[in-house]
Amino acid sequence: MFRSNQNKVVIFDLGNVVLHWDVDRVLDSLCLGSEETKLLRKELFLHQAWLDLDHGKTSEPMVVAEVCNRSSLTSGTVEAALSAARHSLLPIAESVALLQEVSDNGIEMYCLSNMSRENYDHIKSLELFRMFSGVVISGVEGCMKPDEEIFQLIINRFNLDPADTLFIDDSLPNIRTAQRLGINGFHFKGSQSCYAEIRKLLF
């Protein structure tokens, strides 16, 4: 159980926690036909290629070429989908307010996210990143959640004490890995009660 103390640390995930991430909205924004929409969902967003981008194993030009080779999608359509996905990563207002509150209370914050290098390059200038003491992105590091390696990386790089650290993520597998390593986990669902529970844990 996470206890109140003077050395609290919070690690935030990004997608669906701090930033909006909704594949359906991304696809809808492209205004494509049903067949192209289904293909993009299958061959890009739900394909291993997307995970490989997040893992830092490939690049967007390589993914575009691969998707076009195995489907009838054009490079322009795939590139438009990648761009739409990137531009959909907008801050969640209530989460930013929570970050500011955590910062104002002198609690150290870090970011741990599965995200491609390209998408991180697009968002890293957002003002909210100034509140983090450190950022670990899977596409940059070459390892990703829920593997233990990336959790060990952030612990060791920033000399964190797992017992004094709260990890907030929307994925249960990620939470379970954190808990195995002694990190306190909180499964974020975006509800008002979630924000209230986090505040109870921290303040």
In angstroms, the CA 49 to CA 47 distance is 5
CB-based contacts of 109, cutoff 8 Å, min separation 6: 9, 10, 11, 12, 99, 102, 103, 131, 132, 133
Residue range 159-196, pLDDT digits in tens: 999 999 999 999 999 999 999 999 999 999 999 999 99
Q: How far is CA 39 from CA 34, 54, 189, in A?
A: 9, 20, 28
- Residue 96 buriedness (CB in 10 A; 0-12 / 13-18 / 19+): middle
Query: What residue segments make up the domains of the chain, in order of their start?
Result: 9-20+90-202, 23-87
Q: At the fourth CATH level, which superfamily is domain 9-20+90-202?
A: HAD superfamily/HAD-like (3.40.50.1000)
Nearest to 181 by CA among 157, 198, 160, 203: 160
pLDDT of residue 104: 96
- Rounded-to-integer distance, Cα 202 and Cα 195, Å: 11
> In terms of pTM, does the model score above 0.85?
yes
CB contact set of 62 (below 8 Å; sequence gap of 6+): none
pLDDT 10s digits, 2-29:
455 444 899 999 999 999 999 999 999 9
Supply the pLDDT for residue 179.
Answer: 96
